[in-house]
């Protein structure tokens, strides 16, 4: 399985070789985020050093001059450390800057809470004009990078560290849509990022117990596809959201906000429950904080 950060690096280089407006900016973590792949075009690869706030300011200036800057760092740094610069210099003037946060959620594992971005979706989703994207596999990653560059305005792309099996093997994901990977009529599991694969595994486990589970993948958390969400809500008894992020302000909150106004329905949010995590490998952390297919099955059974 190929890491989706590798797919990001390869795809942005491919786009940059065809479009000389694309400039990639790195904050001295390019070997980890794969932004350094773009150094094959040295005249449009800007090494900013460990100065993420300056990198965002430079990106704003490049956008004003007609470039398409792609600023890359770890999610916790680009969303957290640079929040004020993003808010004032990019979101407020609605500039055409693409922000890429790698190593999202618990996927930095042993690096611990300082590097585990469990609040970045909440921060970026609250900003006017900001689109928020989180691909689940290499297929969505390629689509997300292409569409983010085409989109006129600020975009935040959230990338998990590590490998994930392809989930889009039978359908082609549609951009900005909630994509239904498995139809069902009893309950729905709506997931983003690496949690989509775990949702599919949980659905298979529940099928053996006679439950018909709908599984939907969300790569575009903002703006959220309300039309498809409402169609899903009309089919099922309740919804479970699963995300590699705090249950406060992320995918679960976005789903609940729409349904509370348009189609009240029980929504059970699975994610990190208002706590900082610990240092351990990623799978150990997913297990401790309830982000496994087995925990999804438990939550379904508990609420039937």
140 and 182 share a domain? no
128 and 204 share a domain? no
Please report the pLDDT score of residue 2 as a whole number: 82
21 and 134 share a domain? yes
Q: How do residues 50-88 score in pLDDT, each as one tens digit?
A: 999 999 999 999 999 999 999 999 999 999 999 999 999
Work out the mean pLDDT of the chain and round it to a whole number: 97
Q: How do residues 173-199 score in pLDDT, each as one tens digit?
A: 999 999 999 999 999 999 999 999 999
Please report the pLDDT score of residue 172 as a whole number: 95
304 pLDDT tier (thresholds 50, 70, 90):
confident
Q: What phi, psi does 59 have (nearest 5°)?
A: -60, -40
Tell me the C-alpha distance between 59 and 57, whole Å. 5
What is the mean pLDDT of the segment spanning 105-122?
96
Tell me the C-alpha distance between 45 and 38, whole Å. 6
What would the two tokens of residue 9 be? 């690096």
With a cut of 90, say whether residue 164 has pLDDT above it: no
Q: Using alpha carbons only, what angle is made at residue 245 by residues 243 and 248, rounded to the nearest 5 degrees?
A: 100
What is the mean pLDDT of the segment spanning 135-156?
97
The answer as to whether 223 is a domain residue is yes
What would the two tokens of residue 30 be? 């390019």
The answer as to whether 133 is a domain residue is yes
The answer as to whether 64 is a domain residue is yes
Residues in the chain: 304
Q: How many domains does the chain have?
A: 2
With a cut of 90, say whether residue 25 has pLDDT above it: yes
192 and 278 share a domain? yes
Tell me the C-alpha distance between 4 and 136, whole Å. 8
From 158, 189, 214, give the residue that closes a domain. Answer: 158
292 and 192 share a domain? yes
With a cut of 80, say whether residue 272 has pLDDT above it: yes
63 and 111 share a domain? yes
With a cut of 90, say whether residue 163 has pLDDT above it: no
The answer as to whether 171 is a domain residue is no
Q: Do 249 and 273 form a contact (C-beta atoms < 8 A)?
A: no
What would the two tokens of residue 200 be? 């599919």
Domain with residue 36: its CATH number is: 3.40.50.970
143 and 10 share a domain? yes
Q: How do residues 114-145 score in pLDDT, each as one tens digit?
A: 999 999 999 999 999 999 999 999 999 999 99
Q: Smallest Cα–Cα separation from 199: which of 174, 164, 246, 160?
A: 164
What would the two tokens of residue 226 be? 């309300």
40 and 129 share a domain? yes
The answer as to whether 109 is a domain residue is yes
With a cut of 80, say whether residue 170 has pLDDT above it: yes
Query: How many CB atoms are closer than 10 A to CB 1?
Result: 10
132 and 240 share a domain? no
Q: Do 131 and 150 form a contact (C-beta atoms < 8 A)?
A: no
48 and 193 share a domain? no
Return the residue matching tokens 């594992």: 109
Q: Mapping DSSP to helix (H, G, I), strand (E, B) and coil, where does residue 136 land?
A: coil
295 and 195 share a domain? yes
Please report the pLDDT score of residue 73 as a whole number: 98
From 127, 158, 189, give the residue that closes a domain. Answer: 158
With a cut of 90, say whether residue 1 has pLDDT above it: no
Q: Smallest Cα–Cα separation from 239: which of 260, 218, 214, 261?
A: 214
Q: What phi, psi does 55 have (nearest 5°)?
A: -60, -40
With a cut of 80, say whether residue 303 has pLDDT above it: yes
Domain with residue 241: its CATH number is: 3.40.50.920
From 115, 130, 158, give the residue that closes a domain. Answer: 158
The answer as to whether 142 is a domain residue is yes
71 and 194 share a domain? no
The range of the structural domain enclosing residue 108 comes to: 4-158
Tell me the C-alpha distance between 148 and 144, whole Å. 6
Q: Smallest Cα–Cα separation from 219: which of 127, 157, 296, 126?
A: 157
The answer as to whether 164 is a domain residue is no
The answer as to whether 92 is a domain residue is yes
């Amino acid at each position: 399985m190929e890491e989706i950060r590798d797919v990001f690096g390869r795809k942005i280089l491919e786009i940059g070789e065809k479009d000389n407006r694309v400039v990639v900016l790195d904050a001295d973590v390019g070997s980890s985020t794969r932004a350094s792949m773009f150094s094959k075009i040295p005249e449009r690869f800007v090494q900013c050093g460990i100065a993420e706030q300056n990198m965002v300011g430079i990106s704003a200036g490049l956008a004003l001059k007609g470039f398409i800057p792609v600023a890359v760092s770890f999610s916790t740094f680009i969303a957290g450390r640079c929040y004020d610069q993003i808010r004032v210099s990019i979101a407020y003037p609605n500039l055409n800057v693409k922000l890429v946060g790698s190593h999202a959620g618990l996927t930095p594992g042993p690096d611990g809470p300082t590097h585990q971005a469990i609040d970045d979706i909440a921060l970026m989703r609250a900003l006017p004009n900001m689109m928020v994207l989180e691909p689940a596999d290499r297929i969505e990653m390629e689509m997300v990078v292409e569409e983010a560059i085409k989109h006129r305005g600020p975009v935040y792309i959230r990338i998990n560290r590590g490998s994930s099996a392809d989930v889009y093997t039978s359908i082609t994901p549609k951009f900005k849509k909630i994509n239904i990977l498995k139809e069902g009529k009893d309950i729905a599991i709506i997931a983003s990022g690496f949690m989509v694969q775990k949702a599919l595994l949980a659905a298979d486990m529940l099928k053996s117990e006679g439950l018909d589970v709908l599984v939907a993948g969300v790569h575009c958390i903002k703006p959220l596809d309300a039309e498809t969400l409402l169609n899903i809500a009309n089919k099922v008894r309740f919804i479970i959201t699963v995300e590699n992020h705090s249950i406060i302000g992320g995918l679960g909150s976005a789903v609940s906000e729409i349904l509370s106004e348009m189609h009240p329905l029980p929504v059970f949010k699975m994610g990190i429950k208002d706590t900082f995590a610990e240092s351990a490998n990623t799978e150990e952390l997913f297990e401790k904080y309830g982000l496994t297919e087995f925990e999804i099955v438990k939550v379904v059974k508990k609420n039937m």
